[in-house]
Copies of this chain bind each other. A is one copy, B any other.
Amino acid sequence: MVKVIRSTIIEAPIEAVWAILRDFNGHDRWHPAVTTSQIERNREADVIGCVRRFQLADGSELREQLLTLSDADASYSYCLLDTPIPLFNYVSHVQLIPVTDADHTFWQWQGQFSTPPGEAETLATMVGQDIYDAGFAAIRAELELEATDAVG
């Protein structure tokens, strides 16, 4: 099993970040990898068990299911149901925590998954960079914050 953990500080209050991230069907508005997204069966996007079906720029389609959502903890979890990318048993967890002395937000995004033999490293880098780090940058842009000079 591969485990990828990425985290960052968003220079905005947790309420502003959570207002965007909480919408399980809103990632097509901010994440650069996602072009369109729909919740299946006309459910609301904050029903536990709802499935988002979304499309990437190359036309490929993925389905992910909401497992856990907590307004109290500003966190949610989801798993990947169908994907053209060989990420097996992929489960991901998003967690926000306030940074009280600056009114900023600590954001941790992590995922666990299996891969075909020999592909673990490549896929871990892809998830960490193209999904998580790219998502951090996109939320900064969405909130009109300056980019940070990351070292990671």
Contact with B along A114-135 (1 / 0, CB 8 A): 0000000000000000000100
List of B residues within 8 angstroms of A72 by Cβ: 67-68, 77, 91
Give min CB distance, A136 to chain B, whole Å: 7
Give min CB distance, A108 to chain B, whole Å: 7
Determine if B151 and A103 form an interchain contact, defined as CB atoms under 8 angstroms apart: yes
User: Per a CB cutoff under 8 Å, which of B77, B99, B108 touches A8?
Assistant: B99
Q: Which residue of B lies closest to A65 (CB)?
A: B71
Q: Which residue of B lies closest to A152 (CB)?
A: B101
A117 to B70, CA, bound (A): 31
A49 to B150, CA, bound (A): 33
Determine if B67 and A101 form an interchain contact, defined as CB atoms under 8 angstroms apart: no
Q: Which residue of B lies closest to A73 (CB)?
A: B68
Q: Which residue of B lies closest to A151 (CB)?
A: B103
Determine if A106 and B97 form an interchain contact, defined as CB atoms under 8 angstroms apart: yes
User: Per a CB cutoff under 8 Å, which of B1, B47, B151 touches A101?
Assistant: B151
A136 to B100, CA, bound (A): 12
- Show 9 residue pairs from A and B whose CB-CB distance is below 8 angstroms, ordered by the A residue: A5-B98, A7-B100, A46-B47, A48-B69, A48-B70, A68-B73, A101-B150, A102-B150, A106-B106
